[in-house]
């Protein structure tokens, strides 16, 4: 085998190995970037889940407060009427 052919073969193999190395390096960088995005996505999913749970708890509290407010208004009005009837007085003045 002539020396020129051997040198071209060696240069070709070197180029091929360098391409493989660069491709692997690029894939590793992409994987690291995607892993970081995966962590961000997981963190965002946790935040969304926590926020949804908090919103559900707050909705329940608002419903309870609405019931208390409306029930207390009726109870208070009934109590005032009962007191008016019991005393026979006009509370307004």
DSSP notation for 36-68: HHHHHHHHHHHHHHHHHHHHHHHHHHHHHHHHH
Q: How many CB atoms lie within 10 A of CB 84?
A: 13
Mean pLDDT of 14-40: 81
What local confidence, expressed as pLDDT, does residue 92 receive? Answer: 54
Q: Indicate if the pLDDT at residue 35 is higher than 80.
A: no
What local confidence, expressed as pLDDT, does residue 88 receive? Answer: 61
Per-residue pLDDT of 49-92, as tens digits, reads: 999 999 998 988 888 877 776 776 677 778 888 888 887 655 55
Q: How far apart are CA 61 and CA 52, in angstroms?
A: 14
% pLDDT > 70, the chain: 84
- Global pTM value: 0.41
């Amino acid at each position: 085998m002539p020396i020129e052919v051997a040198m071209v073969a060696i240069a070709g193999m070197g180029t091929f190995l360098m391409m493989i190395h660069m491709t692997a390096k690029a894939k590793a960088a992409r994987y690291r970037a995607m892993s970081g995005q995966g962590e961000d996505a997981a963190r965002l999913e946790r935040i969304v889940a926590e926020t949804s749970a908090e919103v559900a708890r707050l909705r329940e509290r608002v419903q309870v407060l609405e019931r208390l407010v409306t029930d207390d208004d009726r109870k208070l009005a009934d109590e005032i009427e009962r007191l008016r009837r019991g005393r026979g007085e006009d509370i307004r003045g």
